[in-house]
Structure 1
Amino acid sequence: MRQQLHKAQRIVVKVGTSTLIYPNGTINLSAIDQLAFVLADLNNQGKEIILVSSGAIGVGLNKLQMATRPPTIPEQQAVAAVGQTELMNIYAQRFSTYSQQTGQVLMTRDVIDFPESRQNVTNTLEQLLQMQVIPIVNENDAVSVDELDHLTKFGDNDQLSAIVAQLTKADILIMLSDIDGFYSANPLTNPEAKLYSHITAIDENLMAQAGDKGSSFGTGGMRSKLKAAQRVLENDSAMVLANGKQPQIIFEILAGKTIGTLFAGNQ
């Protein structure tokens, strides 16, 4: 299956905050520049690229010189509003270095839940791809809330990226995280943890190995990544979970090298 990845034409790439922000809270400009280079080059090869990017709150905290994430939803949404603007400014600047146009697409869950809205956002993404523009998709954190009677959040960008891959019928979702792939246990605490190279189906045993949200390895948590993989598998597509520290790893993944964990059927 990995040998077929070079044939992938429509590719969704998801980057987590850990790829974009250093542990000290500052922006990882090197990673963003490398990401822009890789995606622009793939676009030049004739591939269709969609970037699903986290990082609005992380960048906002840095811009506002705040050391910690604020506790209230209005404060978090304000930080996200500042951060999303700054994040897109950085992306636009770095992509323009490689003569690549980008377009911002902010989504909330209710857009997906209503057929007309879902078709509209799908049309927008399709049109941007047709124009060889790379859509940069994020959840609209400035307005999304997750309350009992008002579900507008996707939950996290792992789910959002899988939904975008589903809407656009992408050939592959490449999810870049802060871990090398899916392990049988937390490799940070268990030296016996085994890295899975290829997973064909998600079952309760794998979900148990992912741990609870509180014991997650990455920002979205491993359980969230498995749920995203499950959605991808149900749509007969493929997903690779890999470490995003060096975004040029995308080239190696698409070349068919055994990197990270491939979620795909046996076909």
Structure 2
Amino acid sequence: MEIGSLKGKVSDKEWQLRCDLAACYRLVALHGWSDLIYTHMTARLPDADHRFLINPYGLLFEEITASSLVKIDLDGNKCDESPFPVNAAGFTIHSAIHSIREDALCVMHTHTRAGSAVSIQEAGLLPLSQQSTIVVGSLGYHDYEGIATRADEIPRLQASLGNNRFLVLRNHGLLTVGSSIAEAFRAMYFFETSCQIQIAAQAGGGALRMVDPEVVNRNANVRSGTIRDGGAQTVAELMWSALLRKLDRIDPSYAS
């Protein structure tokens, strides 16, 4: 399906957000975190109406472009014309978070095998790796209530996340929030890697050595700060720039 470019037809800020979110979808596909056309990532527009961008339901993540992203409001209504539908479960989960978390510019949700496997374990994510110590200090859990299409689940989902940056959706998958798309992606990278390491370590069959709680607390307070030599970019921004360069070498069509 031919999608006309929105470049020059939306504000510069919206276009940049569209390019970054489309890049996020491409990177999720590149890292093997996608689930056919399912799961979803959203980015809230910088306005008072809490409108946000979501994937065009029906496209593979490797097909998503800046112009094909769908703009919707907190009631799930399309704000502009689009030939694509919106995933109902995606709307429920993301609208719930965008409506109460002003700091959550981006919300990412995945159904990876490792993430889903950890979500099934009674103990959840364990402090086994350096990556996991960054996660467990800001981690919530939400019990599975079926496919997330019912509005009555929203307040429970909001309470489960609270002020955390990471959320395990029990028997389901993973969710991260970030003050930018780069921050949310970086958080998901640590989250997903933590789960992969945990499943691999458990598969070895030996006793597992947990990280000392004091070290966990210390690492949990390490954020994506600025570079020590006075650089203006955060660690997440440096990472994001590198990932965009990689995408541009592979296929720059995400920014169309």
TM-score w.r.t. the length of structure 2 is 0.31
Instruction: Point out the structure with the larger strand share.
Output: 1
TM-score w.r.t. the length of structure 1 is 0.30
Higher relative contact order at CA 8 Å, sep ≥6: structure 1 or structure 2? 1
